[in-house]
């Protein structure tokens, strides 16, 4: 699910012997929800979760089924404190609730959009929480830049770029997988004057990123700050000392 974004998602924790709440899987799904999107948790036995057997315990409790009252006490407390809705009635989301379409940039995004193409830095690092429009911003930037410079984009998978391609369907922007890009660099068949966009940069090995940043005219890296990639400031703290060119974050 790396790089994917969803307006809505359903996480079903129903199980034959009670519930099955895989917290890491839940965090992964939560990390893909777009800004203003909704994650629905299908949870039986809400009022007596503390006493309900949780099949997920089989993973870490020596294959023994148990209830996890302390966890669910804390979980319910979080639900209450963050004012998440708990209801037995379900209303299926309608199309006018879908936040997928692009509306307008935030002031910070607008500033990046206007100034990044003119900035003298060789490498630009855009870091933000998931679902905050990084790929949309990258798509808009690429659409603007390709009018006067060649543009490439790479990511762990092309399927992880729906927001980028939804904004920018230009046939002049080429996707190259990291391994193909490295092969072109080794064979010296790449265009060094290209702008290279790297989506979810933290999912790629650091040596690969360093190599890309060494050879292309301009490089724009986008990545998330947290969730299941385990990134945050650690990513920039590891990457930046390895770069020999000017960087703007």
Q: Using one digit for the tens of pLDDT, what is the confidence trace for 131-143?
A: 677 878 888 888 8
Same domain, 74 and 123: no
- Domain boundary pick from 27, 47, 82: 82
Would residue 146 count as lying in a domain? yes
Same domain, 15 and 118: no
Q: Which domain holds residue 42?
A: 6-82
Edge-to-edge strands, sheet with 53-54: 14-15, 18-19, 53-54, 66-67
| Residue 249 Cα to chain centre, angstroms | 18
What does the pLDDT average to over 18-25?
Answer: 92
Distance CA 120, CA 141 (A): 16
- Domain boundary pick from 31, 65, 82: 82
Confidence of residue 123 (pLDDT cuts 50, 70, 90): very high
Residue 225: predicted pLDDT: 60
Predicted confidence (pLDDT) per residue in 221-236, tens digit: 988 765 544 445 567 7
Residue 1: predicted pLDDT: 57
Same domain, 170 and 216: yes
Packing angle between helix 107-115 and helix 134-145, nearest 10 degrees? 30
Predicted confidence (pLDDT) per residue in 152-209, tens digit: 989 887 776 767 767 666 668 888 999 999 999 999 999 999 999 998 888 888 999 9
Confidence of residue 22 (pLDDT cuts 50, 70, 90): very high
Residue 231: predicted pLDDT: 46
Same domain, 218 and 117: yes
Question: Rounded to two decimals, what is the model's pTM?
Answer: 0.63
Confidence of residue 116 (pLDDT cuts 50, 70, 90): very high
Residue 229: predicted pLDDT: 46
Same domain, 41 and 137: no
What does the pLDDT average to over 57-78?
Answer: 93
Residue 48: predicted pLDDT: 92
- Pick the more confident residue, 12 or 3: 12
3-state helix, strand, coil in the chain (%, to 5): 40, 20, 40
| Residue 185 Cα to chain centre, angstroms | 27
Q: Looking at residue 201, which CATH number applies to its domain?
A: 3.40.50.300
């Amino acid at each position: 699910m790396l790089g994917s974004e969803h307006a809505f998602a359903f996480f079903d924790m129903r199980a034959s012997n009670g519930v099955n709440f895989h917290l890491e899987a839940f965090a992964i799904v939560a990390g893909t929800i777009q800004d203003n999107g909704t994650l629905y948790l299908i949870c039986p036995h809400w009022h007596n979760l503390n006493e309900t057997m949780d099949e997920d315990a089989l993973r870490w409790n020596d294959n023994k089924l148990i209830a996890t009252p302390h966890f669910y006490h804390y979980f319910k407390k979080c639900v209450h404190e963050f004012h998440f809705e708990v209801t037995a009635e379900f209303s299926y989301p309608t199309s006018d609730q879908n936040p997928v379409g692009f509306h307008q940039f935030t002031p910070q995004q607008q500033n990046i959009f206007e100034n990044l193409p003119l900035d003298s830095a060789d490498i630009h690092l855009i870091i933000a929480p998931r679902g905050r429009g990084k790929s949309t911003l990258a798509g808009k930037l690429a659409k603007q830049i390709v009018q006067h410079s060649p543009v490439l984009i790479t990511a762990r998978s092309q399927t992880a770029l729906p927001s980028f391609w939804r904004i920018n369907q230009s046939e002049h922007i080429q996707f190259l997988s990291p391994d193909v890009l490295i092969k072109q660099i080794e064979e010296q068949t790449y265009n060094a004057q290209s702008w290279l966009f790297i989506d979810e940069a933290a999912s790629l090995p650091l040596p690969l990123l360093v190599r890309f940043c060494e050879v292309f005219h301009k490089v724009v890296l986008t990545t998330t700050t947290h969730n299941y990639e385990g990134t945050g400031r650690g990513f920039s703290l590891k990457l930046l000392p390895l770069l020999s060119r000017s960087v703007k974050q």
